[in-house]
A and B are shown apart, each in its own frame.
Chain A
């Protein structure tokens, strides 16, 4: 009986769905990415770390249904961060990331596939990504589903035999909604699950040791082998009564390591004359520490999992930034439709609530709390062809 009802319902549902699909408006608002190339130089400087390098992104349509893209990105790192100067030696290294993707458009649906490979001397990451996007209800609602699988190998400098796996899976769901003729809302949810070696092999945990000169010693960190996180973000873009836009975003995050985090961002975009666009933004982020985090453990091997990674500490950060875009009045070549030069600057300040600055020589556990500021610069040139 139950089976018969189920079949009946499924037939009914299929018929209703068919009606719904047939009655949808086919305004075909789904579009492929524009033909565009960007050449960016980035620079990060803060907390004893300097990272800079280029990022080149090229997007090109092939016919009416396909678009391909490729990105080449480099991080040249010079690090003397607080972790490095207190437990190891300063180092330099380079990370090169290459990715390629294809997007296919069919009526109101788009499908994307991409592959990313990242190499540095002590970390290899491979990521395959696929997504499906469908527009509904007169192209007012856009639903995106994405799946990603990552295969990372964690290495260690000066130890070519050291290789630990870290596998990752991401599943995300996003809805974007045209709400009024001036308001666009979007909601995204993503679950990420890791399995494998999740430590940073260079970081150490600190514990009280009365026999040590400073009153404390170090031991290797031990992380759980699994990590699952959930994040949900709500965003809004609003077109003001004059030609300018406001945007806002709020994200909530929680994971199986006991970390709770949230951030919000607000921004304002103001075009000026025909050629300028000015953006300003403010972002506030905060998180609680992981269950197995401590700045100073009471004794050696005091618990199964141990971490003193400042990324797992309780902290907050504030980011204030601006971007200026200038569109050239004339094209340098016939095939170029438009070109812009852009400059962006972000000032970010990090304040830690339970991570202490061990460069201060005071009694163990009484050192001042750590904090640092970072300057982030981007300059990029974009052409549309």
Chain B
């Protein structure tokens, strides 16, 4: 078992360090376009997330941060 653990650790780390970026920096024009932004307008994203969260039981995994709900 220790050998297996050691093998997995070494393979994971070495494969990790051997990963080369298959999308080169000069190929990322499209990804850098503002229309591909994960959060193009933070003030608007935060607001609409709050609108949903105040009326739904589900919460989290949306990158929002704290605060009251204004929904008592």
Contact residues of A between 106 and 140, Cβ < 8 Å to B: 114, 116, 118-120, 122-125, 127, 129, 136-140
Q: Please give, as numbers and ranges, the residues of chain A lying within 8 Å of B67 by CB-CB distance.
A: 73, 97, 99, 116, 118, 125, 127
Q: Please give, as numbers and ranges, the residues of chain B lying within 8 Å of A85 by CB-CB distance.
A: none
Closest B residue to A153 using CB positions: B68
B-side interface size class: 35 or more
Q: Please give, as numbers and ranges, the residues of chain A lying within 8 Å of B57 by CB-CB distance.
A: 253, 255, 257, 259, 261, 287, 290, 311-312
Q: Please give, as numbers and ranges, the residues of chain B lying within 8 Å of A145 by CB-CB distance.
A: none
Q: Please give, as numbers and ranges, the residues of chain A lying within 8 Å of B21 by CB-CB distance.
A: 25, 27, 137-140, 178
Closest A residue to B3 using CB positions: A5
Cβ A346 vs Cβ B51 within 8 A: yes
In the complex the two chains form, what is the Cα distance from A71 to B67 in whole Å? 12
Closest B residue to A75 using CB positions: B70
Q: Which segment, of A218-226, A228-236, A294-302, A354-362, faces chain B?
A: A228-236
Closest CB-CB distance, A283 to chain B, in whole Å? 8
Q: Please give, as numbers and ranges, the residues of chain B lying within 8 Å of A317 by CB-CB distance.
A: 55-56
Closest A residue to B69 using CB positions: A123
Cβ B31 vs Cβ A181 within 8 A: yes
In the complex the two chains form, what is the Cα distance from A233 to B56 in whole Å? 16
Closest B residue to A200 using CB positions: B72
Q: Please give, as numbers and ranges, the residues of chain A lying within 8 Å of B2 by CB-CB distance.
A: 2, 5, 9
Cβ A129 vs Cβ B23 within 8 A: no
Select B13's contact among A16, A24, A277, A290, beta carbons within 8 Å.
Answer: A16
Number of interface residues of A (CB under 8 A): 113
Select B58's contact among A24, A253, A277, A382, beta carbons within 8 Å.
Answer: A253
Q: Please give, as numbers and ranges, the residues of chain A lying within 8 Å of B48 by CB-CB distance.
A: 321, 344, 346, 376, 378
Cβ B43 vs Cβ A271 within 8 A: no
Interface presence of A239 (CB below 8 A): yes
Q: Please give, as numbers and ranges, the residues of chain B lying within 8 Å of A235 by CB-CB distance.
A: 38
In the complex the two chains form, what is the Cα distance from A152 to B66 in whole Å? 10
Cβ B41 vs Cβ A192 within 8 A: no
Q: Please give, as numbers and ranges, the residues of chain A lying within 8 Å of B5 by CB-CB distance.
A: 9
Select A9's contact among B6, B14, B56, beta carbons within 8 Å.
Answer: B6
In the complex the two chains form, what is the Cα distance from A19 to B68 in whole Å? 46
Select B60's contact among A40, A231, A285, beta carbons within 8 Å.
Answer: A231
Q: Which segment, of A60-68, A168-176, A204-212, faces chain B?
A: A168-176
Select A140's contact among B17, B23, B47, B63, beta carbons within 8 Å.
Answer: B23
Q: Which segment, of A243-251, A328-336, A363-371, faces chain B?
A: A243-251
18 additional contacts, CB 8 Å, given A182-B31, A188-B61? A16-B10, A20-B17, A40-B47, A75-B70, A99-B66, A118-B66, A119-B68, A123-B72, A137-B21, A170-B60, A172-B60, A181-B30, A230-B60, A269-B35, A283-B52, A287-B57, A287-B58, A346-B51
Q: Which residues of B contact A (CB under 8 A)?
A: 2, 5-6, 9-10, 13-14, 16-25, 27-31, 33, 35-36, 38, 41-44, 46-48, 51-52, 55-63, 65-70, 72
For the complex of A and B, the 7 pairs showing the least CB-CB separation, nearest first, are: A127-B66, A138-B21, A20-B17, A190-B60, A16-B13, A231-B60, A231-B61
19 contacts between A and B (CB under 8 A): A8-B6, A9-B2, A9-B6, A38-B41, A57-B43, A71-B46, A123-B68, A137-B16, A178-B28, A201-B72, A231-B61, A231-B62, A233-B62, A239-B36, A243-B33, A251-B58, A311-B55, A344-B44, A378-B48
